[in-house]
Structure 1
């Protein structure tokens, strides 16, 4: 089952009851699922973070421009534009829990889903971002998963409230796990409903 279809199922489950009112809910996704379901996975440096009004002037969105240093999946080009809801324009701000925050100069690994012709969104909301933290000497790097904040994670099999299984790992361990998931996907026989 794709993450997109699973999200629709989760929304239906939320409407039928059992989830806290007003809470952002999302399906918990493990690393292999994220890698396989994403249209692109890239490592890069955040060059620009800018909030703006949406085209209909009804909500605020934030554009995050990432300079790609390595593409782990897909061919997204030299830069990617990630757009997500929320942000601040002047004195007005909108907050959407469960989304990752970005800052200029930050090094990241992100799992992306296409959103239109040129933009992307994070796959799995905040679960789709790892911040790269390098040692002072620059000889080692850790990949730290973004916080999901106060969002409620739901186990995709049991539909019960869950916790994230993502843990900080070395950057090389993260890349190895992504490549292994993609290799397993290529070696697996195609089944109905998968990419």
Structure 2
């Protein structure tokens, strides 16, 4: 192969690889029982505000998510909780953190939260700690749909790549699982 052909092949490789976005987030897979026991608060509620802003030091973008609590399943979070997570868009500048939960205004959710300072929380287990609640007009039970992300999940025992194990279930089944996990976690 000539130098010119190697150069072209190298440039083609760089061009192809340069077009891919790298998702470098790796995390251990967790289930609802573990999330319930490790979270400081678990709430069922409605997203009232999603707003990105520059952090206090002006070096990164963070997003504030305000959730109006309709059912506090664990903890005493109050009528609303403020969830803050890295990433977002301010003007025409954006920062993405792979593996985090995504939120939309007026979205109904169940979220597993960890304290982050005096008044703010973060989502426990990243995207694994958020379930979207979907309601059907036909009178069927509300469904809790787990959020899946682009993060690489590792089995907590083998540390080998795995897939998410949480499946959609009714909202009441999710709440019952949370309550059972909390009851189980409080017994010696």
Q: Scaled by the length of structure 2, what TM-score is found?
A: 0.86
**C-alpha contact (below 8 Å) 2:41/2:76 kept by paired residues:** yes
Distance 1:128 1:170 in 2: 16
Q: Which runs of 5+ in 1 are unaligned?
A: 1-20, 190-195
Q: CA deviation at 1:130?
A: 0.1
Any stretches of 5+ residues in structure 2 without a counterpart? 1-21
- Partners of 2:66 and 2:73 lie apart in 1 by 17
Cα deviations by residue, 1:90-123 (Å, 9 ceiling, x for unpaired): 0000011101110000000000000000000000
Name the counterpart of 1:176.
176
Distance 1:137 1:121 in 2: 34
* 1:151 maps to 2:151: yes
CA gap of 1:32–1:137, structure 2 versus 1, over 3 A, is: same
Q: Is it true that 1:48 corresponds to 2:25 in the alignment? A: no
SS at match of 1:101: coil
Equivalent residue, structure 2, for 1:185: 185
- What is the CA-CA distance between 1:22 and the residue it aligns to? 5.5
Q: Deviations over 1:156-186 (max 9, x none)?
A: 1111111111100000000000000001011
Q: Distance in 1 between matches of 2:119 and 2:100?
A: 20
TM-score with structure 1 setting the length: 0.83
Question: How many Å separate the matches in 1 of 2:108 and 2:37?
Answer: 22
2:23·2:98 contact (CA, 8 Å) conserved in 1? no
Output one character per residue of 1:142-161: Cα deviation in whole Å (capped at 9) or x when no partner.
0000111x210011111111
Flag as ranges the 4+ runs of structure 1 deviating above 6 A. Answer: none
- DSSP 3-state at the match of 1:140: coil
Aligned pairs for 1:9-48 within 5 A: 23-48=24-49
Q: Contact 2:51 / 2:65 at 8 angstroms: preserved in 1?
A: yes
> 3-state SS of the aligned residue for 2:76?
coil
Match of 1:115 in 2: 116
